[in-house]
Amino acid sequence: MDSVYKIIEIVGTSEKSWEDATRTALETASKSIQDIRIAEVNRLDVKFKEDGSMIFRAKLDISFKYKG
Going from the first residue of the chain to its last (68 residues), give the mean pLDDT of each consecutive group of 10, the final group possibly shorter. Answer: 90 97 97 93 96 97 88
Task: Give residue 66's pLDDT.
Answer: 84
What CATH code is carried by the domain that includes residue 41? 3.30.1660.10
Task: Give residue 2's pLDDT.
Answer: 82
Contact 38, 63 (CB under 8 A): yes
Count up the domains in the chain and report the number: 1
Neighbours of 60 (CB within 10 A): 20
Maximum CA extent, the chain: 54
**Which residue range is the domain that position 50 belongs to?**
5-65
Task: Give residue 3's pLDDT.
Answer: 85
